[in-house]
């Protein structure tokens, strides 16, 4: 077991080393291409086509470095392409020295392995020890150079492309302000919806129930069956409203059981797959439940679907909820229910997307980071 684990670590280290060499070597090539682009495009820097080309080249460099810079400074992209040229060329020199060193080592080992002298030097033990030690030192220095070049490139990209910290903070404050306003609007809309459900559903049914009870008391025992049915329907509707406010089973039994309840109450077939290694935070769990529940409700009411599929899984620190139906499509992402869901997800710093082409299928997907701050929604 230990030898297998050690072998796996060795293979992983070799793969990372090859990736590093490839990334730095590619950076040397793109540095020359970037320099040529800068020399040609600088006189026309204000043109949209030049800006778009600079953005594409910069995006390629960030992907090569596996670096994400949301909201990067578009004004600094040409400056970045010019500034990274010497660093890229330095990386090319380091890679070239590595290739030359490896080639010499292979040639030397091949000659001495056949018992032949290399450049007039026979393979004596002191010479072999000296050459081996020198080779390891030079290899170490070359690897340090590769790591240093990549680190320098990453720092240069962050320095020239990342938004100003003050500006990033201002944007974050604006996002939180909009998110808070959206949450308040979503809560108000949900309260109005609950009030309508109580007034138009449960309340009307209770009024009818009271009238039936009065008539039964005046000598109409045949109305007792209707009275019982109306009471049963009132309880069902009241339970639906209560679950829409907050499902009590979510705290007690978890998300999988709560979604199973959604499937049982739906008037169409609902297939639920919930694969979570552990229970997410309460706010994330509630948001996932409401996303799935509202998506099922919309599919039943508006799409004519016969099958709804709910999939909940975790990728890293993110819970992903995906709901797909086989209905007619054409769902409006700006509709009241979906807008409320988008605001609920945004309150957790998540992402919400609706894909609903005419003819279907409709796919609703929410990404909910588990590290988000808890929300009261």
Domain ranges of the chain: 2-163, 165-245, 250-377
Backbone angles phi, psi at 321, to 5 degrees: -115, 125
pLDDT, tens digit, for every residue of 119-142? 777 878 888 888 888 888 988 999
Query: Kind of pairing, strands 318-325 and 307-315?
Result: antiparallel
Contact 88, 28 (CB under 8 A): yes
Q: Which two tokens stand for residue 169?
A: 């903070």
Contacts of 148 (CB under 8 A, 6+ apart): none
Contacts of 288 (CB under 8 A, 6+ apart): 255, 280, 312, 319, 321, 366, 368
d(CA 130, CA 178): 67
Helix extents (H) in the chain: 2-41, 48-64, 77-113, 125-161, 165-197, 204-217, 224-245, 248-253, 255-265, 282-298, 336-346
Contact 76, 134 (CB under 8 A): no
pLDDT tens for the chain, residues 1 to 377: 556 666 677 777 778 888 888 889 998 999 898 889 888 888 887 888 888 888 888 888 888 888 887 767 677 788 888 888 999 999 999 999 999 988 888 888 888 887 777 777 787 888 888 888 888 898 899 989 999 999 999 999 888 887 767 766 777 777 777 666 666 566 656 666 666 666 666 666 666 766 766 666 666 666 666 766 767 676 666 666 655 666 666 777 888 888 888 888 888 899 999 988 888 888 888 889 888 888 888 888 888 888 999 999 998 889 999 999 988 888 777 665 677 788 788 878 888 999 888 888 889 999 998 864 444 34
**CATH of 250-377 among 1.10.3720.10, 3.30.565.10, 3.40.50.300, 3.30.1130.10:** 3.30.565.10
pTM greater than 0.85 = no
The strand pairing partners of 365, in sequence order, are 322, 353
Q: Choose among 304, 256, 303: nearest CA to 280.
A: 256
| Percentage of residues of the chain with pLDDT beyond 70 | 74
Q: How many CA atoms lie within 13 A of 311 on its CB side?
A: 12
pLDDT, tens digit, for every residue of 251-290? 778 888 888 888 888 888 999 999 888 888 888 888 898 8
């Amino acid at each position: 077991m230990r030898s297998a684990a050690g072998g796996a670590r060795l293979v992983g280290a070799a793969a990372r080393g090859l990736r590093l060499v490839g990334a730095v070597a590619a950076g040397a090539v793109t540095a020359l291409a970037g320099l040529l682009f800068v020399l040609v495009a600088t006189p026309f820097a204000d043109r949209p086509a030049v800006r778009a080309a600079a953005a594409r080249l910069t995006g390629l460099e960030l992907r090569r470095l596996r670096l994400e810079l949301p909201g990067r400074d578009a004004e600094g992209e040409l400056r970045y392409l010019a500034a990274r040229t010497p660093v890229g060329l330095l990386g090319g020199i380091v890679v070239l020295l590595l290739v030359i060193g490896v080639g010499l080592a292979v040639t030397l080992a091949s000659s001495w392995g056949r018992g032949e002298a290399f450049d007039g030097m026979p393979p004596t033990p002191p010479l072999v020890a000296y050459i081996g030690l020198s080779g390891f030192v030079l290899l170490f220095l070359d690897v340090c150079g590769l790591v240093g070049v990549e680190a320098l490139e990453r720092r240069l990209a962050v320095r020239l492309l990342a938004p100003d910290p003050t500006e990033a903070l201002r944007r974050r404050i604006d996002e939180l302000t909009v998110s808070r306003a959206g949450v308040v609007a979503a809560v108000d809309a949900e309260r109005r919806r609950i009030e309508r459900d109580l007034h138009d559903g449960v309340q009307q049914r209770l009024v009818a129930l009271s009238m039936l009870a009065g008539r039964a008391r005046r000598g109409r025992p045949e109305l007792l069956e209707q009275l019982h049915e109306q009471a049963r329907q009132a309880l069902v509707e009241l339970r639906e409203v209560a679950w829409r406010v907050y499902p009590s089973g979510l705290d007690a039994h978890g998300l999988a059981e709560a979604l199973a309840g959604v499937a049982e109450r739906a008037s169409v077939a609902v297939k639920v797959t919930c694969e979570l290694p552990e229970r997410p935070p309460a706010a994330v769990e509630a948001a996932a439940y409401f996303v799935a529940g509202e998506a099922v409700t919309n599919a039943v009411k508006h799409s004519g679907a016969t099958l709804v599929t709910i999939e909940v899984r975790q990728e890293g620190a993110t819970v992903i909820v995906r709901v797909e139906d086989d209905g007619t499509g054409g769902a409006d992402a700006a509709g009241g229910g979906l807008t409320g869901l988008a605001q609920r997800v945004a309150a957790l710093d998540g992402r919400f997307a609706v894909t609903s082409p005419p003819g279907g299928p409709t796919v609703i997907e929410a990404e909910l980071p588990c590290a988000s701050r808890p929300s009261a929604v």
